[in-house]
Amino acid sequence: MNPYDPQRPSPPESFAGRARLIAQTQEYLERGRVQQFSAAVLVHGHRGSGKTSALRKIESLTEAAKGDTLAVEIPLHQTSSDADLLRSIVQELHSAVRRRKEDRGRWRTALERLQSVNVSVLGTGVGVERSATDTSSNPLTLWRECLEALEGMATIAICIDDAERLNAAGVGTLKTIAESRSPVPVLLAVAAGPEMVRRLATHEFSPVARAFSGATFDMEAFSLTETREALEAALRPSHATGTWSDGAVRRIHDLSHGYPYLVKCLAHAAYRDETRLTEHDVERAVPLALETAAPWLERELSTASDGDIRAFVRIARSERDSLRSSEIIELGINSVYIGRLVKLGVLKKVAPGHYELHKAPVIAYYHELKRRLGGDGRAPRSRGLGTDAGAGS
Ligand SMILES: Nc1ncnc2c1ncn2[C@@H]1O[C@H](COP(=O)(O)OP(=O)(O)OP(=O)(O)O)[C@@H](O)[C@H]1O
Ligand SMILES: [Mg+2]
């Protein structure tokens, strides 16, 4: 049985690393329990960096914490307004409490109270009529009523995934949720792509950014130790019998640059039960790992030259989302490539001499691996597959 599934977020029991995020979440849960303290956490990163996995971990830490805690996940599948967001949260809380009502008397009481909050009217936007006789309720009022219905419970974690899909009013609502004077402690956890961070850096959204101050986590590449943990942590819950040698772990880390999605693709491709997996096994598995990643990544940058990919890899490895041209050149990139990367949509020019990274690093690493371009001391070695550049310029 293969314990690695690159196409799914990591289950909480095999979630690896991210120690700072876990410690912060636990501290907030404790302060929620002891001091009725509400808090907000922002997790951000490019595609495949582990945002959903991190939210699932926060949900599981919440549900494992002491007291009548509850976690709900709200994945945003499309552009969402403040009313859409509040409606989804209230509806999710409803369903989650309903699932709990058999647990203990307190949940049953909470459900009864929640049922008097009329969610059905929330679909049509702010200011809709709550009923024929009540024209005062809007989504925000219903949200507050919902919190009141949950009074007396322990922390309620509200985990919003793909929050870059919120419109401006929706983003503003995050602050309202984070700072609601609530009779039940709320832990708001928001996961979003890098565009969200850029929005929060603007003047318009600085009050929202403040709600997350001190608790903003960039899902960077894994360290070598985290890569090892990600490989090993998946073995235990699935009773898998393979093991990873040090050489194999290092090879996966080097080839993937510690990028979580690629770590999982390589692990999935190389894994065998009842086998001590070696560096050689990892090398042999590269074509299969690339095949696994291809449906998502193959179409991205298929026209880029090898030089473009090398330049993109250097930028990706700098782990910076915003760069000046002088900083790009300091990375050892010829200025010609700046214009080329802009054309390819990798960089976006936002002001003279100022660029933002607009494509996920995993795309650079995929092509580097596919074309065997490795450099910077992380070169794929010639063993097995050769190092010749396969494509492009
Ligand atoms: N901390 C972690 N421990 C173990 N595996 C992880 C971790 N973070 C991410 N992964 C793995 O990396 C891959 C991508 O994770 P995930 O789906 O959470 O990323 P994402 O940032 O939500 O991606 P997307 O932007 O596509 O929504 C998955 O295969 C997941 O199992
Ligand atoms: Mg995700």
- Residue 16's pLDDT is 97
Is any atom of ligand 1 closer than 6 Å to the C-beta of 10?
Answer: yes
Fold observed for domain 306-370: Arc Repressor Mutant, subunit A (1.10.10)
CA distances from 33 to 29, 36, 64, 154, 155 (A): 6, 6, 13, 6, 7
* Reported CATH class of domain 18-218: alpha beta
- Residue 393's pLDDT is 33
Is any atom of ligand 1 closer than 6 Å to the C-beta of 45?
Answer: yes
User: Considering only CA atoms, which residue is closest to atom 16 of ligand 1?
Assistant: 50
Is any atom of ligand 1 closer than 6 Å to the C-beta of 251?
Answer: no
Kindly report, residue by residue over 24-66, the tens digit of the pLDDT. 999 999 998 888 889 999 999 999 999 999 999 999 999 999 8
Does the pLDDT at position 236 exceed 70?
yes
Kindly report, residue by residue over 290-332, the tens digit of the pLDDT. 999 999 998 999 999 999 999 999 999 999 999 999 999 999 9
Q: Please, what is the average pLDDT of the chain?
A: 88
- Residue 130's pLDDT is 41
Q: Which residues contact 16 (CB under 8 A, 6 or more apart)?
A: 10, 222, 226, 227, 229, 230, 233
User: Which range, of 18-32, 33-47, 119-133, 143-157, averages the lowest pLDDT?
Assistant: 119-133
- Residue 135's pLDDT is 40
- Residue 131's pLDDT is 44
Nearest to 28 by CA among 90, 71, 87: 71
User: What pLDDT band is residue 106 in, cutting at 50, 70 and 90?
Assistant: confident
- CA of 96 relative to ligand 2 center, distance in Å: 21
User: Which range, of 6-15, 100-109, 183-192, 296-305, averages the lowest pLDDT?
Assistant: 100-109
Tokens matching residue 298: 């193959």
Is any atom of ligand 1 closer than 6 Å to the C-beta of 52?
Answer: yes
- Residue 390's pLDDT is 33
Kindly report, residue by residue over 266-287, the tens digit of the pLDDT. 999 999 999 999 999 999 999 9
Tokens matching residue 184: 């039940």
Give the start-to-end residue ranges of the domains of the chain. 18-218, 224-297, 306-370
pTM of the model: 0.90
Q: Which residues contact 216 (CB under 8 A, 6 or more apart)?
A: 41, 42, 44, 197
- CA of 165 relative to ligand 2 center, distance in Å: 12
- Residue 34's pLDDT is 87
Element (H, E) at 337: helix 336-343
- Ligand closest to 56 (CA) is 1
Backbone angles phi, psi at 159, to 5 degrees: -110, 110
User: Considering only CA atoms, which residue is closest to atom 31 of ligand 1?
Assistant: 10
Q: What amino acid occupies position 30?
A: E
Kindly report, residue by residue over 196-219, the tens digit of the pLDDT. 999 999 999 999 999 999 899 999
Give CA angle at 311 (310, 314), nearest 5°.
Answer: 90
- Residue 137's pLDDT is 62
| Structural contact between residues 83 and 121, judged by C-beta atoms closer than 8 angstroms | no
Task: Please give the number of the atom of ligand 1 that sits closest to the Cα of 260.
Answer: 12
